[in-house]
């Protein structure tokens, strides 16, 4: 059947205030920093600290966190393979909107499969998608178990939990890798901040 809906959609992106103008106003280069890694690896903790540090340095940012997004935008999605993929697709589309506003976005999602992250990268754009791999080992993440999720997954109370009964595919060529099991929080944040500044500093 012919899709009449698509025929009746007429985007006006070319008529809007352009991203370059907004970046000039904000004096920053917008990027999407995509944090991936096991639950408990330190993704959100680092992103929240980075946002505060960037804010204090005069940058405009937005953190998108898995738990926050699933209570609102994606509250109709579960954790099946298809729902996980749709969760990431929606986040990527939302990130692209923020990117076009000149805003620096810090995304914290397990996003366990390379295919998912590649889809997000395709939507956002290769030059603006910066994959940050928080490579803390599963053993350390499970020892921390800050949300009690690993215990529930081991008890069978949570199904399709990454690292327990669902796979995680590590990035092959991340823009930055940080192992919070080897570096202190301060060392991890400094490494992250210096990398971020090198990408967003306006010249």
Which residue blocks in 57-184 are alpha helix, DSSP H? 66-70, 81-100, 114-124, 138-144, 149-154
Average pLDDT, the chain: 90
Q: Is residue 104 part of a domain?
A: yes
pLDDT of 124: 97
> Residues of the chain with pLDDT > 70: what percent?
93
Tokens read off for 143? 């020892």
**Range name among 10-14, 92-96, 181-185, 188-192 with the lowest pLDDT average:** 10-14
61 dihedral zone (left: phi>0; alpha: psi -120 to 50; beta) = beta
pLDDT of 6: 62
What is the arithmetic mean of pLDDT over 56-64? 96
pLDDT tens digits for range 66-83 = 777 777 777 777 777 788
CA-CA distance, 108 to 97, in Å (whole number)? 17
What is the arithmetic mean of pLDDT over 23-31? 97
What is the arithmetic mean of pLDDT over 16-40? 95
Which CATH number belongs to the domain containing residue 150 in this structure?
3.40.50.300
What is the arithmetic mean of pLDDT over 73-98? 85
pLDDT tens digits for range 147-193 = 899 999 999 998 888 989 889 999 999 999 999 999 999 999 999 99
Q: Is residue 10 part of a domain?
A: no
pLDDT of 10: 59
Q: Is residue 9 part of a domain?
A: no
**Residue appearing with tokens 């923020």:** 98
Which is it for the CA torsion 48, 53, 56, 57, positive or negative?
negative
Structure-derived torsion over alpha carbons of residues 159, 165, 171, 177, reported in degrees to the nearest 10: 80
CA-CA distance, 98 to 45, in Å (whole number)? 21
pLDDT of 67: 72
Catalytic residue among 41, 111, 135, 188: 111
Residue 87, CA atoms < 13 Å, CB-side half-sphere:
27
pLDDT tens digits for range 117-127 = 999 999 999 99
**Range name among 1-5, 44-48, 90-94, 196-200 with the lowest pLDDT average:** 1-5
CA 129-132-137 angle, to 5 degrees, is 150
Residue 1 pLDDT greater than 50, yes or no: no
Q: Is residue 7 part of a domain?
A: no
111 in active site: yes
Domain count, the chain: 1
**Residue appearing with tokens 């999407």:** 32
Taking only Cα atoms into account, the Rg of the chain, rounded to an integer number of angstroms, comes to: 18
Q: Is residue 169 part of a domain?
A: yes
What is the value of pTM for the model shown?
A: 0.88
Q: Residue 182 belongs to what domain range?
A: 17-198
């Amino acid at each position: 059947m012919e899709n009449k809906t698509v025929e009746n959609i007429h985007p006006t992106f070319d008529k809007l205030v352009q991203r370059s103008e907004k970046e000039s106003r904000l004096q920053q280069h917008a990027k999407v920093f995509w944090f991936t890694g096991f639950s408990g690896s330190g993704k959100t903790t680092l992103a929240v600290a980075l946002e505060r540090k960037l804010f204090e340095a005069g940058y405009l940012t937005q953190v998108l966190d898995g738990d926050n997004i699933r209570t609102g935008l994606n509250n109709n999605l579960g954790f099946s393979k298809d729902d996980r993929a749709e969760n990431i697709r929606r986040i990527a589309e939302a990130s692209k909107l923020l990117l076009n506003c000149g805003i620096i976005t810090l995304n914290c999602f397990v996003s366990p499969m390379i295919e998912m992250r590649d889809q997000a990268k395709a939507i956002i754009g290769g030059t603006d998608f910066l994959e940050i791999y928080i490579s803390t080992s599963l053993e350390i993440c499970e020892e921390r178990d800050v949300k009690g999720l690993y215990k529930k997954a081991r008890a069978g109370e949570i199904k399709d939990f990454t690292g327990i009964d669902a796979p995680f595919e590590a990035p092959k060529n991340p823009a930055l890798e940080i192992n919070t099991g080897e570096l202190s929080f301060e060392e991890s944040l400094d490494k992250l901040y210096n990398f971020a500044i090198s990408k967003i500093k306006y010249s």
